[in-house]
Amino acid sequence: MVADVRRIYALPTDVRRLLVLSTAEGFDFVERLVADWDDSSNRFDRPGEVLVECRSDGFLVGIGGLNIDPYIDDPSVGRLRHVYVDPAQRGRGIGREIVDRLIALARGRFDRVRLRVGTPHGGAFYLALGFSVTDEPDATHTISL
């Protein structure tokens, strides 16, 4: 393992640094993660839902979550949410470790997992991890468990 990926039950206080970095890149999903946590609309606390963080040398370098997919009426479908890695830490396998951990936690709870990416780089990343492109509404990629 290149860094420590573990399940967490509270949003880390140092997530604000990742929020600033992601916003500077034009991404809003870490901002949504923080807003949803702060207003209690998504605390990753329903059956099968998890939030993980990745730390390297004690610093928060990545985060990601797994929810019951809110865009489909099927509790056997999970959704990867808010997966983000500090740009200075990319290329070290941290994103892969976060997604691998989330998928491992999804097995036995969900039959498949969906997500939506907004960049070609993100799409290629998930294809390399075994996801397939989908034309389903509200998703770009899916993986069967």
Domains and CATH numbers, the chain: 4-144 (3.40.630.30)
3-state SS class at 17: helix
Tens-place pLDDT, residues 6-61 = 999 999 999 999 999 999 999 999 999 999 999 999 999 999 999 999 999 999 99
Contact 106, 145 (CB under 8 A): yes
Question: Given this model, what pLDDT does residue 3 score?
Answer: 76
Q: Exposed (0-12), middle (13-18) or buried (19+): which is 44, by Cβ within 10 Å?
A: buried
Residues, the chain: 145
3-state SS class at 45: coil
Question: Given this model, what pLDDT does residue 1 score?
Answer: 46
Of 51, 48, 46, whose CA–CA distance to 106 is shortest?
48
Give the pLDDT mean for 110-136: 97
Question: Given this model, what pLDDT does residue 4 score?
Answer: 87
pTM above 0.85, yes or no: yes
Tens-place pLDDT, residues 65-122 = 999 999 999 999 999 999 999 999 999 999 999 999 999 999 999 999 999 999 999 9
Question: Given this model, what pLDDT does residue 2 score?
Answer: 60
User: Strand 112-115's sheet: what is its strand order?
Assistant: 4-8, 50-56, 59-68, 77-85, 112-115, 141-144, 132-133
